[in-house]
Structure 1
Amino acid sequence: MTTTEAAPPRQISRTVWILVTARAVNRIGAFTLPFLGVLLTVEFGASLGETGFILAVFGLATIPSRLIGGQLADRLGRRRTIVLGLVGCAAQLWIAVSPVLWSAIAAAVLLGLAFEIYEPSSQATIADVTDPADRPAAYGLLSAALAAAGVLAGLLAAAVSHWDLRWLFAADALTCLACAVLVAVALPADRPRDRQPTTKVPVWRDRRLLLLLVSGTAFATLAMQLVIGLPLTLVEKGLSTSGSGFILATSAVVLILGQRLLRVQRLDDFRSMAIGYLLLAVGLVVSAFAQHLVVFLVATVFWSLGELFLLTRYLTQASGLAPEHARARYLAVFGLSWGVATAIAPLTVTRLLESTGPEGLWLSSAAVAVVLAALQPWFRTRLAPA
């Protein structure tokens, strides 16, 4: 596991640049998940409780998706698995054309089963071609590129959501297919060692990985609550759903500008993560009391900086724990944090919004972030190399 100081990358591999470009193409259309709950309530008339249950089912479906992606990455190779996963995500076309609620539910489940297949391969590819000391910057480059595409994604979402939310899902499906073509054509072919038979690795016996999974799940749940809860909060406050698009765009700009912090800050993983959680907590507190879009945008600046510090460090730690021949499987297991979070967050968001309102939702989330910041010295001792 890497706990060294962050430093500018000495050289970014051509493979990383290709992968980053392809994922950015995909990200231009990937603004649908924050609107899935709104689509279910506004277009299909689902209640908050029903919406929370459906989104939780979607989240559960992403769990086997991530594990399948890790196995395929080590068996079939990175490029083939990425292409397969992106093509599967084009199932969003089904959501776009669904005439009734049950059809949209079936499409959401299918999307969940394909949603995470390409992630272990993408993350493992970066680790494969990057020195450990350079991985925070390499993962940061991926985050910055996705954020740059997210600026356009947010503006498109703001514009298209005025027209018909279904077009968001159609656009995302098309960008998934475009990204799959780019990866298939430009990413280097899988090498023989990438397609060797998968050897048995006691992934689930690695206690450090399991502890990192627990910590990562807590972070992912907070992040997913923002993705799902902010659009619903805007509805609760009587603000336009197009505000979610501007929030996405603002978050993307912050991630791009904040990328510089990853190059100049000299803190190790755990100090960086403590700072990240505190920034996240500030953004959540501001969100709790916001009444106008401008205030929500101020909150976005804080929680986006927090997420920037946290996500790159979590990926660096997870990839550092893994032996090279099982890296995709380690990252797949760690990535379950997002599947679990995607199942938990819709339930916590909808129930807290119904029972305590936006204030209770975001203040309780901020309290969790503060606790996680305080626990980082404890995590340092438990995750130290054996």
Structure 2
Amino acid sequence: MFDFDEMESQNLFLYLSLLVLSITFFFQNIKPRLGRFFQPSLETRAKAAILSRQEVAQFLDSPIVKEQEQEQEEGISPSSTFDFDPYMETKVELVNKALDEAIPVGEPLKIHEAMRYAVLAAGKRVRPILCLASCELVGGEENAAMPAACAVEMIHTMSLIKDDLPCMDNDDLRRGKPTTHKVYGEGVAILSGGALLSLAFEHMTTAEVSSEKMVWAVRELARSIGTRGLVAGQAKDISSEGLDLDEVGLEHLEFIHVHKTAVLLETAAVLGAIIGGGSNEEVERVRKFARCIGLLFQVVDDILDETKSSEELGKTAGKDQLVGKLTYPKLMGLEKSKEFVKRLTKDACEHLQGFSKEKVAPLVALTNFIANRNR
């Protein structure tokens, strides 16, 4: 005869064993992957960036301090021995060489010529340098992040080609040279932009990293340029042209630039941190830092557009005012915009606290370079 009590005990033991094994498998294999899928969307991250800042009204109503010295917090000031200029020159040279090799001349000849013309123009390479520096910040090797650095610059260039088209910003000058559509025609310019977008993803996958990191990186890059990133910012920007200042606020303008400008700078840094082997916590700290300098880049851009000439900028100056675009000086005033630059610079550096002072020096110096650039 069967001993039902013994059978029930065996079944209970079996069920408990299966439950323990399932929980163990979940935490070792499934949970890390689910974490990648359920990371905050770009919309949520953008909203958090707006809500996490101190009261906007308090900042706008505060008196203007024209001679405001920003004291560097302990642990976030750049090393006194760190020389940023040669660092920047070396990185730019390496990035330019990698981009040149990534886009060889081939058939169709005109398309490749247009791609090279746009990409190899004398850009500042802030995004790829940000990617490389973030990789090194978390202990990774520069070579590992170079394909991602090039991919971000290809996508950035694609966005510039698109922005300059007659149906968009209708610009004739970019990086001190005639825009791509002025040299090669609109059809070739559009096709070359599409080719750069495609090549960016193909090229990034040549990085020697684990498949898990690569999937994470590809997802981050794809999100940053679609309707939850770059496209969203550009669409909002177009629809905001000519709006009365009474109809918009700082949050409206920040939404545009969190998506249109800041998101690709943020993604460049995040890709470097992912490929460099950063932990989830380190990646998110790098993300917050890069989001600040992304907005910083745009505020400075708006100030330069109002205060510099086309010859100084290498692109058409005063274009934003001409077409009635929303800008920080238009919304906040020029002096308040300059104060906002100081505030974002300080906020960005504060997110780097806790990292090695030596490894953080290039990123602090890059932040100051963006804040103080003159073109």
Q: TM-score under structure 1 normalisation?
A: 0.28
Task: Give the structure with the higher percent helix.
Answer: 1
Larger Rg: 1 or 2? Answer: 2
Larger RCO (alpha carbons 8 Å, 6+ apart): 1
The normalised TM-score by structure 2 is: 0.29
